[in-house]
Homo-oligomer: A and B are copies of this chain.
Amino acid sequence: MSDAGVSTEPITIAVLGGGTVGAEVVRQIGAQEADFASRVGAPLQITGVAVRDAAKSRPGIDPSLLTTEPLALASSGADIVVEVMGGIETARECILAAMAAGSSVVTANKALLAADGASLYAAAAQYGVDLYFEASVAGAIPLLRPLRESLAGDRVLAVLGIVNGTTNFILSQMDERGADYADVLREAQDLGYAEADPTADVEGHDAAAKAAILAELAFHTRVTGSQVSCEGISAVTLADVEAARQMGFVIKLLAVAERAFDAEGNDEGVIVRVHPAMVPREHPLASVRDAFNAVFVVAESAGEMMFYGRGAGGQPTASAVLGDVIAAARNRVAGGLGPGESVYAELPVLPLERATTRYYVNLDVADRPGVLATIAQAFADNGVSIQVVRQDGHGEDAGLVLRTHKATDGALARTIESLSGMDAVKQVVGVMRVEGEAGP
């Protein structure tokens, strides 16, 4: 498209939220004005920026654009409304009002999408507008468009990734420096990598929201954040990290969305889970450090793919938002709409116990003959096969570290329960899922 093809009628854009991301979106629309006009076929024009404090100085943003009334700005009928305020209630109200006024919406709001994406999609369909949300998962990494569009001709089997930068920073630092969870968390807070209240990150809620969004796109099935089995990293100890290291593994907080099959290999449902897991050091996810994100996708025809990049931050997130803004703006100029909700498959969301995983189990046991046999029997009774076992005597007690072959999460949980009740087992020191190994 040449400059000659740029219409003079601008595409109007209202931005809800003037934080790091919002400010960067506004700045880039100014800085790349000529490029964006050529790519869209029309100039982009910001009509307003909704902020909390209109008096605050915001370099690069014309103060006359500022407003403290997001709902009024959202309802103003701009071609595109960009929602980067966060939160649930006000954001939903603004997005629905924007769509009712005929605006296409670009949002980075994973919490809202995971809680109630269905309402947003329904309103987008009702009013014939676009809903784009690439920035909601894995920041700058183009991931949702590939899942939604490039892989639309394939059958996605599983999505497995590191999608929360805060927890990945903490786990990386624990692994690399042998630092304690509490110390690294404090450091992350000082550096601005973790919030003053870190719950949403460290308890896995942020990753669970992203896992729900990924699962919905991958499996054409509605999944909400509350359907995701979620365990965070606050219980991960330095002892776990060091045990992993000794075995050649590293601990990562993983978001996993996968199909579950019945005995004939037909789809039975999907399982979506977030939890710390041990990953072999030679696995590509093991080398994803600090605030980076990476997502593995396994599809029937395409095989394994990995997407890697920056998962957060003002500039990377703005890049993803602006890609969506350009797409929505092109649709305004050229006609047509991006893909809508696709949940036709309606697969049931199954509980965690149906997941098939491996386990790492670390036990303090009595150091007497026959203990290993007793413990091995407990695994066998629950249908769990042991892959590796290492026994270290130390005085009266012995340490027993095991890794299992694949079994259902339910069978593994029942095994742990029987172990906990055994005389020979003095303490269950550590239990963690193991992901990313090839084979049975």
**A152 to chain B: which residues have CB within 8 Å?**
39, 322-323, 326-327
Interface residues on A, range: 35 or more
- The reply on A118 being an interface residue by CB < 8 A is no
Interface pair A344/B2, CB less than 8 Å apart: yes
Q: Nearest chain-B residue to A5 (Cβ)?
A: B344
Assuming the contacts A1-B341, A152-B323, A301-B24, asked whether A308 and B284 have C-beta atoms less than 8 A apart, the reply is yes
Interface pair A316/B301, CB less than 8 Å apart: yes
Copies of this subunit: 2
Within the complex, the shortest CB–CB distance from A4 to chain B, in Å, comes to: 9
Contact of A38 among B305, B308, B336, B344 (CB under 8 A): B344
Interface pair B323/A331, CB less than 8 Å apart: no
Assuming the contacts A32-B155, A150-B323, A327-B152, asked whether A316 and B339 have C-beta atoms less than 8 A apart, the reply is no
**A302 to chain B: which residues have CB within 8 Å?**
140-141, 309-310, 315-316, 319-320
- The reply on A186 being an interface residue by CB < 8 A is no
Q: Nearest chain-B residue to A134 (Cβ)?
A: B150
- The reply on A342 being an interface residue by CB < 8 A is yes
- The reply on A149 being an interface residue by CB < 8 A is yes
Interface pair A301/B327, CB less than 8 Å apart: no
Q: Nearest chain-B residue to A297 (Cβ)?
A: B309
- The reply on A381 being an interface residue by CB < 8 A is no
Contact of A306 among B220, B308, B340 (CB under 8 A): B308
**A154 to chain B: which residues have CB within 8 Å?**
319, 322-323
Q: Nearest chain-B residue to A303 (Cβ)?
A: B310
C-alpha spacing A129/B306, complex, angstroms? 31
- The reply on A183 being an interface residue by CB < 8 A is no
- The reply on A201 being an interface residue by CB < 8 A is no
Contact of A315 among B301, B308, B344 (CB under 8 A): B301
C-alpha spacing A310/B301, complex, angstroms? 10
Interface pair B305/A306, CB less than 8 Å apart: no
Interface pair A35/B155, CB less than 8 Å apart: yes
Interface pair A153/B344, CB less than 8 Å apart: no
**A287 to chain B: which residues have CB within 8 Å?**
284
- The reply on A151 being an interface residue by CB < 8 A is yes
Which A317-360 residues have a C-beta within 8 angstroms of B?
A: 318-327, 330-331, 334-337, 339-345
Assuming the contacts A301-B315, A315-B301, asked whether A1 and B153 have C-beta atoms less than 8 A apart, the reply is no
C-alpha spacing A36/B344, complex, angstroms? 11
Interface pair A151/B155, CB less than 8 Å apart: no
C-alpha spacing A320/B38, complex, angstroms? 28
Q: Nearest chain-B residue to A316 (Cβ)?
A: B302
- The reply on A376 being an interface residue by CB < 8 A is no
C-alpha spacing A140/B340, complex, angstroms? 24
Interface pair B335/A330, CB less than 8 Å apart: no
Interface pair B155/A150, CB less than 8 Å apart: no
Interface pair B39/A220, CB less than 8 Å apart: yes
Which A131-183 residues have a C-beta within 8 angstroms of B?
A: 134, 140-142, 145-146, 149-155
- The reply on A190 being an interface residue by CB < 8 A is no
Please give 19 more A-B residue pairs, beta carbons under 8 A apart, in addition to A1-B342, A140-B299, A331-B336: A1-B341, A38-B220, A39-B344, A140-B305, A141-B302, A142-B150, A142-B151, A146-B146, A151-B323, A153-B320, A153-B324, A284-B287, A299-B319, A302-B310, A302-B316, A305-B307, A305-B310, A307-B308, A335-B336
10 contacts between A and B (CB under 8 A): A1-B341, A140-B305, A142-B142, A145-B150, A149-B323, A149-B327, A284-B287, A303-B316, A305-B308, A334-B336
**Nearest 7 A/B pairs, CB to CB:** A336-B336, A153-B322, A142-B150, A142-B146, A140-B302, A305-B309, A301-B319
